[in-house]
Amino acid sequence: MKSWMSGLAALCLLLPIWAQAAPRSGMIAVAPGVALHVLETGSPSARPSLVLIPGWRLTAGIWTHELDSLAQDRRVIAVDPRSQGDSTITGDGDTPEQRARDYHALIEAAHAGPVVLIGWSQGVQDVAAYIDEFGVADVKGVVLVDSTISKGAADIPNRLDFTVQQLKLLPLLATAPRDFTSGMMHAIISRPLPAAAFDAIVDQGMKTPPAISQAMLIADMFGVDRTGAIAKFKVPTLVLASSRSAELEAQKALAKALPDGRIEVVANASHAVFVDQPERFDALVKAFLARIS
């Protein structure tokens, strides 16, 4: 308990003013022997709850600003995926497909539906897997943040340079995990953060063991072709992309392919667009939520 509280306190330095009460922390069982740690703000209302899904090795705490700003009129739940943060660390099921089943169980256990799913980076794969398996019966909208939906191993020849770059970095994760994690955070966050806040994000990333991290990355990027799920996104879907993204054109194509998709590009932001440009990110999300309400 003390570890997550100290980390959250440091992450709160991202906010100039902590306007609301600190998020409520809890554990929710989602599978035999597996429980997910969540941070929750706001109160149930007639509006869909928001479920915030972070990227690879990151946690609910990365959504500190959103947990505050988006909970004015609804319930907001941010998740530590399995094997990340303070959720159960397990060598089983560290794939988007199993994480999707975890989220479905979490939404049912927490009586959180209907929901808007907001997935960032690896979370985009998780959302695609969720909709592929469960459809949109309990989903009123989707926000996909700065990632495309993976085409699986068959697409490696078309992304050879990117694939080589990713695989070349994996040995560093095994031999120098903190150096790797610190470098990763500097690469995805360009906004200057207080040292304590940045170190807290690195500390959270370090909770996923290197071997599990490597397996997760392979499953996310080079495993299942999830593009078959695109046609099942039969709800309003907002693609939020960084203007610096190497996948910007692919994200534009994804938005066009979605049944009810649109894209907004956030300038002056790296991959963690909601950390670099929190006010702009929140304004776009709130406008999207107003549309679907």
User: Using an 8 Å Cβ cutoff, are 270 and 276 in contact?
Assistant: yes
Return the domain boundaries, the chain: 2-292
Query: Would you state the pLDDT for residue 159?
Result: 84
Instruction: List pLDDT tens digits, range 30-60.
Output: 999 999 999 999 999 999 999 999 999 999 9
**Dihedral sign, Cα of residue 98, residue 154, residue 216, residue 201:** negative
Give the residues of the chain that fall short of pLDDT 50.
1-19
Q: Which residue is it, tokens 């996909």?
A: 144
Q: Which one-letter amino acid corresponds to residue 42?
A: G
- How far is residue 49's CA from residue 108's CA, in Å, rounded to a whole number? 12
pLDDT in tens, 169-205: 889 999 999 999 999 999 999 999 999 999 999 999 9
Residue 12 is predicted with a pLDDT of 45
**Helices marked H in 64-188 — which ranges?**
64-69, 96-109, 122-134, 160-175, 177-188
Which is it for strands 76-79 and 115-120: parallel, antiparallel or unpaired? unpaired
- 117 token code pair: 């799913």
Strands 261-266 and 237-242: parallel
pLDDT at res. 166: 82
Is this structure's pTM higher than 0.85?
yes
Q: Which superfamily is assigned to 2-292 in CATH?
A: Alpha/Beta hydrolase fold, catalytic domain (3.40.50.1820)
C-alpha angle 85/130/134, rounded to 5°? Answer: 140
pLDDT at 21: 67
